[in-house]
Amino acid sequence: MKKNIITFILLFVLLFNVVFITDAFAVSQPTISAPSGILIDFQTGDVLYEKNGNTPMYPASTTKIMTALLTLENCTLDEVVTIDDKSPFTGGSRIYLNEGEKVTVEQLLYALLVKSANDAAVALAIHISENVDSFANLMNKRAKELGAKNTNFTNPNGLPDPNHITTAYDLALIAKKAMEIPKFREIVKTSRYEIPPTNEQEETRYLKNSNRLLWGTGGRNKMEYKGELIDIKYDIVDGIKTGYTVAAQQCLVATAQKDGHRVISVVLKATGKNIYSDTRTLLDYAFEGFKTIKLTIGNKKVKSIYVNNDKSLNINLLTKNTLYKTVPKDGSYNIQKKVEITDGIKLPIEKGQILGQIIYTNNDSEFAKVDLISDRSLEEKKLFPTFTIGKSILIGLSSLILLFLIYRTIVTMRRIKRRKIKKRRLGKYKQVNKYKK
């Protein structure tokens, strides 16, 4: 009996662990070997899978996603960088830059993301912020702006440092932002790149991407996946960045697109080729199990309201933006929505002011919302309507009185003038009669 109870408990725990709650949906989750991983939808940012996604980990060279993002946000591609006296001495993977060598920002970005060159990372950091410490501060500031709350970068390349940490979720947020930049997308899907000779390097540098999902076929580029031996290369993958140190082990941030649907996966501290099989497990899980739907479009009229119950103060509430969400393909959801209006709305109201929300739920669990905004501005009434009417009557009466006074003045002046003329005529008449006598 006791044995049966233990067996039942173990089965219950097992079943519980294969159910994953994401955005109010219960979906069977896949299994990966790595201790930390996450999967998000690129368009919506919805988390589709998580395993210790907020646990601090060493990111190794996946750090360079942030370095590339800051470079693209702060530099132009044709800027010429003169290599400083520190970058050439950076250890690990590098392209052997020389002091005084002149290369473009674009070339350094390819070295950074394709070859995973640590010296290129330091060169870009010094070019942007004059020193590595200042650049690390910039990295951390940008990470916080993106919502990466559990990240602390100390260098631009991910070389070992106990204080250089991030999480799978934070890396996904950083990668999502970087993937919004066309040049970043172009670079991270590049398998091979050449840097021609420079003023300090006579030979062409040939770069090969460290991400075997882009090119790995045949020979040693095979992996076991779902009981079969297949090529590591996966045609739907088009980036992003690998990483490795002894402490971090194998790390990979990857992205793939299928039928217009893009997702981003992060796998940290995997061993050997498991980094690729874990990544493919997550990517396939996304495309086989989820789809993106449009809940509402932006600027859609949802409701009309009266402010202070005054029918002359009517405004329309519009959706602030278009809202997409990622849901299971099997239709195992029942989306409901409710409109909530902000209490105590007062004048004045600005156009675009948030006055409410649409809240979307599934099985009574909130999973999305969109703000409702005013379609126009409304000024505060300074005077009551009765006073305005009284003021209009007063102005009218004043105008009539003024006109009457003007009229009386003209009439009086004319009478005075006629009296003067009559008096002059009378005087002349008396003078004539005097002479006749």
Percent of the chain with pLDDT over 90: 73
**Confidence grade of residue 59 (pLDDT, cut at 50, 70, 90):** very high
Residue 346 lies in a domain: yes
284 part of a folded domain: yes
pLDDT of the residue at 412 = 81
Q: Residues 61, 129, 277, 374: which is the catalytic one?
A: 61
Q: Is 409 a domain residue?
A: no
Residue 271: pLDDT over 70: yes
- Asked whether residue 173 falls in the same domain as residue 246, the answer is yes
Greater model confidence, 405 or 385: 405
Is 340 a residue whose pLDDT tops 70?
Answer: yes
Residues 6+ apart with CB under 8 A from 361: 24, 335, 336, 337, 338, 367
What is the CATH classification number for the domain harbouring 321?
A: 2.60.410
For residue 3, tell me if it sits in a domain.
Answer: no
In this prediction, residue 318 carries a pLDDT of 95
Same domain for 112 and 42, yes or no, is yes
pLDDT score at 1? 42
Per the structure, the count of domains in the chain is: 2
Question: Do 196 and 285 belong to one domain?
Answer: yes
Name 215's Cβ contacts closer than 8 Å, sequence gap at least 6: 191, 208, 209, 221, 233
Q: Which domain holds residue 252?
A: 24-291
User: What's the CATH code of the domain at 217?
Assistant: 3.40.710.10
- Which of 374, 390, 415 terminates a domain? The answer is 374
Segment holding 141, helix H or strand E: helix 132-145
6 inside domain? no
Q: What is the pLDDT of residue 392?
A: 65
pLDDT tens digit string along 78-104?
A: 999 999 999 999 999 999 999 999 999
Closest CA to 170 of 266, 261, 241, 262: 266
Q: Is 47 inside a domain boundary?
A: yes
Q: How confident is the model at residue 251 (pLDDT cuts 50, 70, 90)?
A: very high
Average pLDDT over residues 297-303: 93
Q: Of 325, 352, 374, which residue is a domain's last?
A: 374
Those residues whose C-beta lies under 8 Å from the C-beta of residue 92, and which sit 6 or more positions away, are 118, 157, 159
Cβ atoms < 10 Å from Cβ of 288: 10
pLDDT band at 27 (very low <50, low <70, confident <90, very high): low
pLDDT for res 425 = 67
Task: Give the highest mean pLDDT range of 25-29, 268-272, 327-331, 363-367.
Answer: 268-272
- 434 within a domain of the structure (yes/no): no
Residue 96: inside a domain: yes
Query: Are residues 43 and 149 located together in one domain of the fold?
Result: yes
Please check the confidence at residue 30 and state whether its pLDDT lies above 70.
Answer: yes
Residue 437 has pLDDT above 80, yes or no: no
Pair (153, 282) in one structural domain: yes
DSSP 51-78: ESTTS-B--GGGGHHHHHHHHHHH--TT
User: Rounded to the nearest 10 degrees, how much is the dihedral formed by the CA atoms of 19, 213, 149, 271?
Assistant: 70
Among 338, 353, 374, which residue terminates a domain?
374
Residue 317 sits in the same domain as residue 282: no
287 shares a domain with 317: no
CB burial of residue 157 (10 Å; 0-12, 13-18, 19+): buried
The pLDDT of residue 364: 82
Distance of CA 279 to the CA centre of its chain: 24
> Residue 276: its pLDDT value, please?
98
Highest-pLDDT range among 161-170, 291-300, 320-329: 161-170
Q: Which of 55, 291, 312 is nearest to 169 (CA)?
A: 55
**Residue 114 carries which DSSP code?**
I
Query: Is residue 162 domain-shared with residue 309, that is, in the same domain?
Result: no
Told to judge if 64 belongs to the known catalytic residues of this protein, a careful annotator would answer yes
Q: What is the mean pLDDT of the chain?
A: 89
Q: Which of 36, 87, 93, 116 is catalytic?
A: 116
pLDDT > 80? residue 18: no
Residue 148 and residue 35 share a domain: yes
Is position 61 annotated as part of the catalytic site?
yes
> What pLDDT, on the 0 to 100 scale, is given for residue 244?
98
Q: What is the pTM of this model?
A: 0.80
DSSP 8-state secondary structure symbol assigned to residue 307: G
**Residue 434 is among the residues annotated as catalytic for this protein:** no
Residue 391 has a pLDDT of 59
The pLDDT, as a whole number, for residue 52 is: 98
Active-site position among 36, 51, 64, 241: 64
Residues 218 and 322 grouped into a single domain: no
**Claim to verify: residue 219 and residue 257 sit in the same structural domain:** yes
Whether 235 and 360 map to the same domain: the answer is no
Q: What is the mean pLDDT of residues 203-215?
A: 98
For residues 251 and 59, the answer to whether their CB atoms sit within 8 Å is: yes
